[in-house]
Amino acid sequence: MPAQKTLSIIKPDAVASRVIGQIIARFEQNGLELLRAELRSIDRDTAKAFYAEHAEKPFFGELIDYITSGPAVVAVVAGEDAVALHRKLMGATNPKDAEPGTIRADFAKSLTENAIHGSDSVESAKREIAIFFPAAAKEEGFLDF
């Protein structure tokens, strides 16, 4: 069975804080493999597609402004039970609630500037990987999990 995959985004605040390497090292130290990673600016159309489930919520505009505010590292990460493991490494969405030693507890600045995104389910991972890596998703089997 192919390894489970998930989408990871090291968000603009963490990129600006220069902690990319520390975050990726945590993935690798915990058995996750980086299959693909790109430092990129996320354009507004991509951000809107990515956050489509929040389109009707009052904070939607803030999400779009934030994720497009600077470069981010968008990555496909794989391993056994990758979605759950990645989410455990991230910690709670609100860094004030995150367990010590998690990425958000250590690197997040606020609920909005919370350092990292990870898919919340296998279905979300497939949708999100296809948004950011459409050609590779098909050619490299990123959607085979």
**Nearest Cα to Cα of residue 44 among 29, 31, 30, 60:** 60
Based on the residue annotation, tell me whether 54 is a catalytic residue of this protein: no
Q: With b meaning 16 or more CB within 10 Å and e meaning fewer, what string describes 94-107?
A: ebeebeeebbbbbb
Gap between the Cα atoms of 49 and 64, Å rounded = 10
Which of 5, 26, 117, 126 is catalytic? The answer is: 117
Give residue-wise pLDDT tens across range 93-124: 999 999 999 999 999 999 989 999 999 999 99
pLDDT tops 80 at residue 19: yes
Give residue-wise pLDDT tens across range 58-86: 999 999 999 999 999 999 999 999 999 99
Claim: this prediction has a pTM higher than 0.75: yes
Residues within the annotated binding site for ATP? 11, 59, 87, 93, 104, 114
